[in-house]
Amino acid sequence: LQADDVESKIREIIPPGFCTNTDDFVSLLEKEVNFKPFGMLLHTYSVHNEEAGEDITYQIYKADMTCPGFREYHERLQTFLMWFIETASFIDVDDERWNYFLVFEKYNKDGATLFATVGYMTVYNYYVYPDKTRPRVSQMLILPPFQGEGHGAQLLETVHRYYMSSPTVLDITAEDPSENYVKLRDFVLVKLCQDLLCFSPGKLMQGFSQEMVMEAQQKLKINKQHTRRVYEILRLRATDMGDAEQSRSYRLDVKRRLIGPYKKKQRELAKMRRCLRPEELTNQLNQIDLNMQHEQLEESFQQLVSEYRRVLERLAQA
């Protein structure tokens, strides 16, 4: 059997100059002592490592293509997306609207301070008429050896805090977020919002309000849709689900939002009654099972509450 030409496939993704034997790779590691993170330091934090029995220091930086050497570094870094994110694609680095946020582990070895790449995030700054921008998270990756240690939450919170200080930023969104990213975002946004006055237990029990929307957007750059999820999570924490009246009030409040798509179907049905012939109407009605819709609504509610409880559990441990 003839071996596959692996190198030709790798060349389609990895920039020229990659190593093809172990000796060359090991010799290049000696140059790691000269590596320094690119850009501006935004945040430093520590994570306790059980295996090492000590706290390890991590730093988050913001960089752009004007940083000397960053373009070449990013060309190599972005190749990791292809191995770990199924729908990943390379971005146009010549577009100046991109911002780059990087996480590094800072450690000492043989008396030298070294930095290991932990992960990174790319954010595109969309224009919003007349004088605002809307940063949109495009890609986010924490490398496998560092996953499950809270670095994603640290990175996302740092990015939010960076944009919160800018008066020209309207709100922060994400491009086609994955299920795991939504869970991460829920945790970070609830953590940021829980101390706002509009999310006090008394106001939460009064229902979702425009005050919450305005304060979350003005102070934390959170849009209305995400603010609603934050409200539902924090109201769940403030609700005694063992109390029949409180539980019923919470359930109805969440279901009023979830029922939106079903109400749309009902409006479509009303139009059908006016426009379709009897045999066409019967065919459409057969596809709309109201009992099934109620079952789906209850299933969606229970799944959502389960997700919200996991966010609250993580928040309690933070």
3-state secondary structure of 122: strand
- Among residues 150, 176, 202, the one where a domain terminates is 176
Give the torsion through C-alpha atoms of 203, 209, 214, 216, to 10 deg.
Answer: 60
Q: Does one domain contain both 36 and 149?
A: yes
The per-residue pLDDT for range 141-194, each reduced to its tens digit, is 999 999 999 999 999 999 999 999 999 999 999 998 999 999 999 999 999 999
Whether the predicted pLDDT of 35 surpasses 90: yes
Token pair 């944009």 in the structure block, residue:
163
Is 119 part of a structural domain of the chain? Answer: yes
Q: Does one domain contain both 221 and 301?
A: yes
Is 1 part of a structural domain of the chain? Answer: no
> In the prediction, which pLDDT does 132 show?
96
Q: Does one domain contain both 159 and 112?
A: yes
Q: Which two tokens stand for residue 201?
A: 């237990």
Select the more confidently predicted residue: 38 or 262.
38
Select the more confidently predicted residue: 89 or 200.
200
Express as a percent the part of the chain with pLDDT over 90.
72
Mean pLDDT to the nearest integer, 199-221:
96
> In the prediction, which pLDDT does 109 show?
87
What's the structural domain count of the chain?
Answer: 2
Q: Does one domain contain both 259 and 232?
A: yes
Full residue range of the structural domain in which residue 276 is found? 181-317
How high does pLDDT run on average in the chain?
A: 90
Is 91 part of a structural domain of the chain? Answer: yes
In this structure, what CATH number is given to the domain that contains residue 268?
Answer: 1.10.10.390
Is 15 part of a structural domain of the chain? Answer: no
pTM of the entire predicted model: 0.88
Catalytic residue among 175, 295, 299, 313: 175
Whether the predicted pLDDT of 228 surpasses 80: yes
Whether the predicted pLDDT of 284 surpasses 90: no
Q: Which two tokens stand for residue 169?
A: 């930023």
Is 13 part of a structural domain of the chain? Answer: no
Q: Does one domain contain both 151 and 237?
A: no
Mean pLDDT to the nearest integer, 72-81:
94
The strand pair at 54-63 and 98-109 is best described as: antiparallel
Is 236 part of a structural domain of the chain? Answer: yes
> In the prediction, which pLDDT does 10 show?
86
Q: Does one domain contain both 147 and 215?
A: no
**Which candidate, 210, 211, 138, 219, places its Cα nearest to that of 171?**
219
Per the omega criterion (within 30 degrees of 0), is the bond before 130 cis?
A: yes
DSSP secondary structure, 216-267, as one string: HHHHH---HHHHHHHHHHHHHHHS-TTSHHHHHHHHHHHHHHHTHHHHHHHH
- Among residues 176, 211, 234, the one where a domain terminates is 176
> In the prediction, which pLDDT does 267 show?
57
Is 23 part of a structural domain of the chain? Answer: no
> In the prediction, which pLDDT does 52 show?
77
Q: Does one domain contain both 208 and 140?
A: no
Is 211 part of a structural domain of the chain? Answer: yes
- Among residues 149, 176, 203, the one where a domain terminates is 176
The strand pair at 173-174 and 132-142 is best described as: parallel
Cβ pair 212, 198 in contact under 8 A: yes
> In the prediction, which pLDDT does 32 show?
85
Cβ pair 107, 56 in contact under 8 A: yes
> In the prediction, which pLDDT does 269 show?
56
Whether the predicted pLDDT of 266 surpasses 60: no
Cβ pair 305, 259 in contact under 8 A: no
The per-residue pLDDT for range 56-70, each reduced to its tens digit, is 999 999 999 999 999
313 given a catalytic annotation: no
Phi, psi of 86 (to 5 degrees): -60, -40
> In the prediction, which pLDDT does 44 show?
98
In this structure, what CATH number is given to the domain that contains residue 91?
Answer: 3.40.630.30
Mean pLDDT to the nearest integer, 24-35:
89
Q: Does one domain contain both 140 and 240?
A: no
Cβ pair 156, 142 in contact under 8 A: no
Q: Does one domain contain both 95 and 198?
A: no
Cβ pair 168, 130 in contact under 8 A: no
Phi, psi of 161 (to 5 degrees): -65, -35
Compute the distance between CA of residue 133 and CA of residue 275 in angstroms, rounded to an integer.
44
Mean pLDDT to the nearest integer, 288-316:
87
Q: Does one domain contain both 152 and 236?
A: no
How many C-beta neighbours within 10 Å does residue 134 have?
17
Q: Does one domain contain both 216 and 269?
A: yes
Angle between helices 179-193 and 290-317 (to 10 degrees): 60
Lowest mean pLDDT among 39-53, 156-170, 261-275: 261-275
Cβ pair 21, 2 in contact under 8 A: no
Q: Does one domain contain both 49 and 158?
A: yes
